[in-house]
Structure 1
Amino acid sequence: MSQAAASDVDSSAQPAAKVGLFTLTSMVVGSMVGAGVFSLPGRFAEETGVAGALIAWAIAGTGMLTLALVFQSLAVRRPDLDAGVYAYAKAGFGEYLGFFAAFGYWASSCVGNVTYWVLIMSTAGSIWPELGDGDTAVAVVLSSAGLWAFFWLIRRGVKEATAINRIVTVAKLVPIVFFVVLALVYFDPGVFADNFGGADYAGSLFSQVRGTMLATVFVFLGVEGASVYSRHARRRSDVGRATVLGFLSVFAVFASVTIVSYGIMPMAEIAGLRQPSMAGVLEAAVGTWGRVFISVGLIVSVLGAYLAWTLMAAEVLFVAAKDEDMPRFLRGTDAADVPVPALLMTSLLTQLVLIATSFSSNAFDFALNLTSALSLIPYLLAAAFAVRIGSRDDPRTAGGRTSRRELAVGVVATLYTAFLLYAAGLKFVLVSFVVYAPATVLFVMARREQGRRLFSPGELVVLAVSATGAAVGLLALVAGWISL
């Protein structure tokens, strides 16, 4: 049977393609190592010096490690739940909040994918001015062509796409590690000391650290990658192992890239670099070939991350539809186990956001921050679910109640994600509501297909909060109180 003929086959008739620990780990690493790492020097230098960066990475590393441990624990304790972030929110707090978690995670993935194309075009823009900072008409057209080329690649089958991702994950780590090694060779202790306390434009140490938080969230997005893709795992225990292994590997890389950059250039100069700022830092150290080397590595890295994130975004929509929390048309797969309708919706939303970047004053930074803000509510609900099942007996929990250590980790992860929402600021919280609230149309479609009551009393409260937030956000945008 051809793929075209099988495009509407229900998922229940198709066995899920199975992958092992190495592939799951590569999905985690491949998801996190993307556009963000190449922008870290500039993003951090805009906000803080060495001292603030060390504190920020200590907070982000600890907080994200607790989230990684939460996903590891939940993968073992609730093996019945697939597509982690969405499934945990639904199991803990009901269908409507679970729906919001699924949609928010999916939308953040699509917006995050836009940053990849913007950064690729911005990188090429140093050679072809027509591409500008990745937000010109020419850049949008070329990015759109690449977007639909990836749609065709993934359309061929999940196994083929994940095999490519394993190769790309290894390939893209090489230039990043090479950057760290060269930066250490050309490291200037005097420059590093001058950058230690920050620059004149930096505020209090707390405000400096707060200013870096969304950047750290963005680069760590994907820590839950193995959990999202859990229905394809050969062994359930591999999901947790892949999550922790992937996180620890990537954390070491991200922190190193940031800190060593402060030993190459004054932080004010790093902050003024064109993105990808990593390329500008290496150019200052070794010359033009350093920028070219990092630029090529960036393109490989970003394309690999785009592949991984597109797979995960489609998977979330597919599983939500399979559980009847999204409209039925999203649950279809083809003979190659590809959720084609979900993949198509993912590509369409990415396309729309890509077009919208041409109207933003800073397309890359806005898309990066919005991606982080959209992901925080799903993360918060997953962490809170870990606390919930750790504080009461649940016959569905494998191995009984979670341990005190697991409960403590869940509490820290919940507090950390709540702090991140505060750090994001009111602007991005309101814009997130503008994105979240209209998605209720999909929830209503699913309920009508099932002949069910549209909203329970508790769900009406959630609807009222989200609608109010969206209305305030739209008013703020129209009145110019906040801008893109």
Structure 2
Amino acid sequence: MTKQATETRTSASTPAKLSLITMTGMVVGSMVGAGVFSLPRRFAQETGVAGALIAWTIAGVGMLMLAFVFQLLANRKPQLDAGVFAYAKAGFGEYLGFFSAFGYWASASVGLVFYWVFIMSTIGAVVPAFGDGDTIIAIAISSAALWGFYFLIRRGIKEAAAINRIVTVAKLVPIVVFVLLALFVLKPDVFAANWGGADYAGSLFDQVRNTMLVTVFVFLGVEGASTYSRHAKRRQDVGRATILGFVSVFAVFASVTIVSYGVLPMADIAKLRQPSMAGVLEAAVGPWGAWFVSIGLIVSVLGAYLAWSLMAAEVLFVAAKDHDMPRVFARSNAQDVPVAALLLTAIFVQAVLVVIYFAQDALNLALDLTSALTLIPFFLAALYGLKLVITRETYDESPRGWGRDLVVVVLATVYTAFLLFAAGLTFVLLSFIIYAPATILFVMVRREQGRRWFSGREIVILVVSIAGAIAGIVALSVGWIRL
């Protein structure tokens, strides 16, 4: 077979089949990334122990409900692959399905940028030239590593999944050690002083709301098994892997946040350099603690980077197979890797790496924008689950569990709607700036199919997205919002 013939295989490809353990590892590997290492400072900047407990309760219940929605949809609609975008399309039409696919892909891609900035910032504690991960040398090295991973992932999904299994175990060790050591040295008086939050934190409601984007970020990846549903050996493993992955990491995330309040005062934690977990452990056990966490962070990030790269490319690939993205992205190679989608992902990440050089706070910008971009795909998936239950579609043949499912989808919908509110106007407008130009890809698809570019309802959605993008650009230009 010629190289060209190999590269242009599409639907004829035989997907690599993944076991329940491997898919669960993909979920855990996606969720446990750089975000967990930034939790102490991000929470201490916004809230005290009480607010953190409330925030994690809301986030835990809300994301668990969303995980249940993905499980429900995987079981009720097994023919829908690449879950997030497929559910939006099935429930609300091709254009919103396209936006969901693009938004999820863009979110994962900006998340990859965050990973590189975080690694370089970690090294910057030792090598000042790397700064906070946004200096010229940091961006240059990040770019080189980006393309190195691109060529690694091209070698195949099975190989990448095997590496991910090893890295997932390795990166959990420093996080668990951190929690245990922090508990051992926990100071009750410091913990009590941090209970109510500081004067700068605002009302309890504001404290909780201001932590929502960071909780979304650390939970991104909970939908990983749904995204990889076409690779599952057994369809029911998709839902099981989602729940197992979520339960495996929720307690870890909450514990990292809460135990930190017993080591240092809030004000001190809020001033720590990222990764703040390193600073907390250094205060607890000495300088070796910072080194220990920093090494763990780099291992963790590289593992999560691998999983997120695969998921981002997979979304574009499956969307193209379903004729919702230009057909070029349906190309895969002999190892079943969506090469064109993977290449576009690398190019997009490279472009954003250049843009963040001009940001005031590159690290937090990348984190919050990653979370904001994924809110619309999550909201539409929850809405589709609600629509499915209300219309009783598929429940005539299998009515069992309707009442429980109704509670789940209502809670998931309310939670994702609250996240959109918590994101605030700044990140909603920034999201529109990214979403609106993507319509060019939608037009390309319609031209390939010889169809009318937009229907009546789709024109309304187009106008709203363009208006939002224009508002965002104006807000940036006059300084109402800043990068």
TM range (shorter): over 0.9
What is aligned with 1:196?
A: 195
What is aligned with 2:285?
A: 286
1:184 offset after TM fit, Å? 0.5
Question: 1:117 touches 1:134 (CA, 8 Å); kept in 2?
Answer: yes
Q: Deviations over 1:412-447 (max 9, x none)?
A: 101100100100000000110000000000000000
Structure 1: stretches of 5+ with no match in the other structure: none
What is aligned with 1:391?
A: 390
Q: AA paired with 1:407? A: L
Q: What is the rounded CA distance, in whole Å, between the counterparts of 1:399 and 1:23 in structure 2? A: 29
What is aligned with 1:35?
A: 34
What is aligned with 2:473?
A: 474
Q: What is the rounded CA distance, in whole Å, between the counterparts of 1:419 and 1:111 in structure 2? A: 22
What is aligned with 1:371?
A: 370
What is aligned with 2:55?
A: 56
Q: What is the rounded CA distance, in whole Å, between the counterparts of 2:6 and 2:145 in structure 1? A: 23
Question: 2:395 touches 2:402 (CA, 8 Å); kept in 1?
Answer: no
* TM value normalised by structure 2: 0.99
What is aligned with 1:146?
A: 145
What is aligned with 1:160?
A: 159
Q: What is the rounded CA distance, in whole Å, between the counterparts of 1:439 and 1:365 in structure 2? A: 24
Question: 1:7 touches 1:340 (CA, 8 Å); kept in 2?
Answer: no
Question: 1:82 touches 1:231 (CA, 8 Å); kept in 2?
Answer: yes
What is aligned with 1:421?
A: 420
1:11 offset after TM fit, Å? 1.7
Q: AA paired with 1:121? A: M
Q: AA paired with 2:323? A: E
Distance 1:346 1:397, change over 3 A: farther
Q: AA paired with 2:83? A: G
What is aligned with 2:240?
A: 241
Question: 1:68 touches 1:244 (CA, 8 Å); kept in 2?
Answer: yes
Quick one: percent identity of the two aligned structures?
Answer: 68
What is aligned with 1:208?
A: 207
Distance 1:474 1:395, change over 3 A: same
Q: AA paired with 2:56? A: W
What is aligned with 1:407?
A: 406
Q: What is the rounded CA distance, in whole Å, between the counterparts of 2:154 and 2:395 in structure 1? A: 36
Q: How many pairs does the alignment contain?
A: 483
SS in 2 for 1:248: helix
Q: Deviations over 1:259-287 (max 9, x none)?
A: 00000000100000000000000000000
Q: AA paired with 1:375? A: T
Task: Map residues 315-354 of structure 1 onto 2, 5 A cutoff.
Answer: 315-354=314-353
Q: What is the rounded CA distance, in whole Å, between the counterparts of 2:242 and 2:13 in structure 1? A: 26
Q: What is the rounded CA distance, in whole Å, between the counterparts of 1:325 and 1:347 in structure 2? A: 20
Q: What is the rounded CA distance, in whole Å, between the counterparts of 2:39 and 2:391 in structure 1? A: 41
1:394 offset after TM fit, Å? 2.8
CA RMSD of aligned residues (A): 1.2
Task: Map residues 235-274 of structure 1 onto 2, 5 A cutoff.
Answer: 235-274=234-273
What is aligned with 1:177?
A: 176
Q: What is the rounded CA distance, in whole Å, between the counterparts of 1:163 and 1:300 in structure 2? A: 15
Question: 1:218 touches 1:371 (CA, 8 Å); kept in 2?
Answer: yes
SS in 2 for 1:454: coil
Structure 2: stretches of 5+ with no match in the other structure: none
Task: Map residues 424-463 of structure 1 onto 2, 5 A cutoff.
Answer: 424-463=423-462
Q: What is the rounded CA distance, in whole Å, between the counterparts of 1:341 and 1:399 in structure 2? A: 40
1:137 offset after TM fit, Å? 0.3
What is aligned with 1:108?
A: 107
Q: What is the rounded CA distance, in whole Å, between the counterparts of 2:396 and 2:432 in structure 1? A: 33
Q: What is the rounded CA distance, in whole Å, between the counterparts of 1:323 and 1:395 in structure 2? A: 22
Q: What is the rounded CA distance, in whole Å, between the counterparts of 2:467 and 2:372 in structure 1? A: 18
Q: AA paired with 2:343? A: L
SS in 2 for 1:48: coil
1:5 offset after TM fit, Å? 3.7
* TM value normalised by structure 1: 0.98
Q: Does 1:275 align with 2:271?
A: no
Question: 2:76 touches 2:394 (CA, 8 Å); kept in 1?
Answer: no
What is aligned with 1:118?
A: 117
Q: AA paired with 1:310? A: S
Question: 2:217 touches 2:368 (CA, 8 Å); kept in 1?
Answer: yes
Q: What is the rounded CA distance, in whole Å, between the counterparts of 1:398 and 1:32 in structure 2? A: 35
Distance 1:398 1:63, change over 3 A: farther
Distance 1:333 1:166, change over 3 A: same
Question: 2:107 touches 2:373 (CA, 8 Å); kept in 1?
Answer: yes
Q: What is the rounded CA distance, in whole Å, between the counterparts of 1:381 and 1:398 in structure 2? A: 25
Distance 1:77 1:129, change over 3 A: same
